[in-house]
Amino acid sequence: MASIALILGATIAPACRWDRDTLAEEAKGKGLDVLKTIVGHFDRNPPLYYRTRLDRVAREITEKPGDLNLYDDAGVACDHLGDFDAAIAWMEKKFKAMDKGEPTDADRYRYHANLGTFLAHRWFANKADLNKPQDLDRGIDHIKKAIAINPEAHFGREVYQLALMEWTRSRTPDDDQEFIGAPITEYLLDKGLLDWSEADKAVEGFTGLIRLGNAWESVDVFAGLADALMHQGNGTLGEAALGRVLELQDQGKRSITGWKFEQKTFFEGRPMGHEQDQAQSEFKRLRAEAESWHSNRTEFMTAKLQRGEHPDTHADFWSGFDSGSIEVKGIPFYKRTEFLMTAPIFCVGFVVLALTIFGVWVVVRVVRARA
């Protein structure tokens, strides 16, 4: 077998891009709304949005070839449109422009982050052939360079992007092992990226790959997010993420490993019984609401884009559009208390204490009996 992209509709490369939209999202702060991410209530733009931007920035680059941010906008637009060769070509043009000027660390960081992402996307689009790993290897190298320049960029999400890419690279076409939890879990645990102390970072990393990367249709990323949420002690949200995994599988998507999630699949920290059913039911309701909102948003955008308006150039573009909100009903999406997370340790400690007291009591009785 030459390829592991494998099974009907293999996963899309889970990588992050950097352009002006990324900066706008970052400006909202670190509190990415995990529930909105899971159900799809976040900005996803139609192709016309990126074609319009690409046409404009391509003209602007001829007038301002030293404006390095324009190359990022052009490359990301091409990447969104699926033209990975063009996206990579824009990064090559940016490299030449940087060579003629005085690029900042931020310029260099975005160059490596975007180029690494585009190379990975092209590799996945070309059937993710492990016998032809050149694009993936180059992508890994550039993401490493980006992280070396700015380890905390993207709220540290590129650490998880790199882990996903390296995990993919470490596999062989004949891997057929059974998985407990998400297929990537064992790899992340070995790297120290999914233990209890790192669970918050893992959740943030995976949600970032979904919102700002290309992972909205990635079975592996949503399964990884579910595991991270459960390690975090957030079992009901983890169950919702598994609802998205099931939805993707129904659409023909699969893990790059060929793994398929089933309701009986074991995930540590997963809610049980009635609570599990409620979480799945609530996920489906919120997904329907989010898709309705997304459809309305796309229709609103398309009408304005066809009139020549664009959010980049028209400050009142969103006037008249209801950004909307989501309301959770039927089940509280809450985080378990620290007591529940430490309950096993507490119980073990209690048993040890009880045995110690019992042992002391036995010794005292023996000593008294001998006396």
Q: Quickly list DSSP for 194-261.
A: SSGGGHHHHHHHHHHHHHHBS-TT-HHHHHHHHHHHHHHT-HHHHHHHHHHHHHHHHTT-B-TT----
Contact between 34 and 203 under an 8 Å Cβ cutoff? The reply is yes
Q: What is the pLDDT along the chain (371 residues), one digit of tens a residue?
A: 333 333 333 445 566 666 666 545 444 443 348 889 999 999 999 999 999 999 999 999 999 999 999 999 999 999 999 999 999 999 999 999 999 989 999 999 999 999 999 999 999 999 888 899 999 999 999 999 999 998 876 556 789 999 999 999 987 655 555 666 789 988 898 998 888 788 888 998 999 899 888 899 999 999 999 999 998 888 889 999 999 999 999 999 999 888 899 888 888 888 887 888 888 999 999 999 999 999 999 999 999 999 999 999 999 999 999 877 767 665 555 444 433 444 454 455 656 666 777 667 666 676 676 76
pLDDT tens figures, 115-125? 999 999 999 99
User: Which residues are 10's β-sheet partners?
Assistant: 254
What is the Cα–Cα distance from 44 to 201, expressed in whole angstroms?
24
Nearest alpha carbon to residue 227 among 253, 205, 249, 252: 205
pTM comes to 0.81
Contact between 229 and 244 under an 8 Å Cβ cutoff? The reply is no
pLDDT tens figures, 8-64? 334 455 666 666 665 454 444 433 488 899 999 999 999 999 999 999 999 999 999
- The two structure tokens encoding residue 101: 């000027």
- The two structure tokens encoding residue 323: 């950004």
- The two structure tokens encoding residue 8: 């009907």
